[in-house]
Amino acid sequence: MENCLALKVTDKDNVATIFANGVTDGTNVDVRDKKGNSETVTVIGDVPYGHKIAVRDIKKGELIIKYGEEIGAATKDILKGEYVHVHNLEALRGRGDL
């Protein structure tokens, strides 16, 4: 499989959104930003279209930033390239207790 595309929208983002089907563990993904920079990241886990991967290591408790917005906090340490979703992210929006 040739490299797939993921987009990192702002410099603050620590995740990128996958824009490809069939992204499985070990797939190389080209992570691009709005400045035209590109970095190849090897995916850890199977990632559905439109879902996120970490673009750097993220520590447990650290905020997850997507599209420049805080969308949750890491519930465990997350490695660069790892699939980021409900199994390792706790949503902070709409909880009513914050």
Per-residue pLDDT of the chain (98 residues; tens, 9 = 90+): 556 999 999 999 999 999 999 999 999 999 999 999 999 999 999 999 999 999 999 999 999 999 999 999 999 999 999 999 999 999 876 655 54
pTM assigned to the model: 0.90
Longest CA span, the chain: 45
Q: Domains along the chain?
A: 4-91 (2.30.130.110)
d(CA 16, CA 48): 13
Task: Assign 3-state DSSP to the chain and report helix, strand, coil percentages, each to 5.
Answer: 0, 45, 55
pLDDT at 92: 76
Angle ∠(43,79,67) on CA atoms, nearest 5: 75
d(CA 69, CA 87): 20
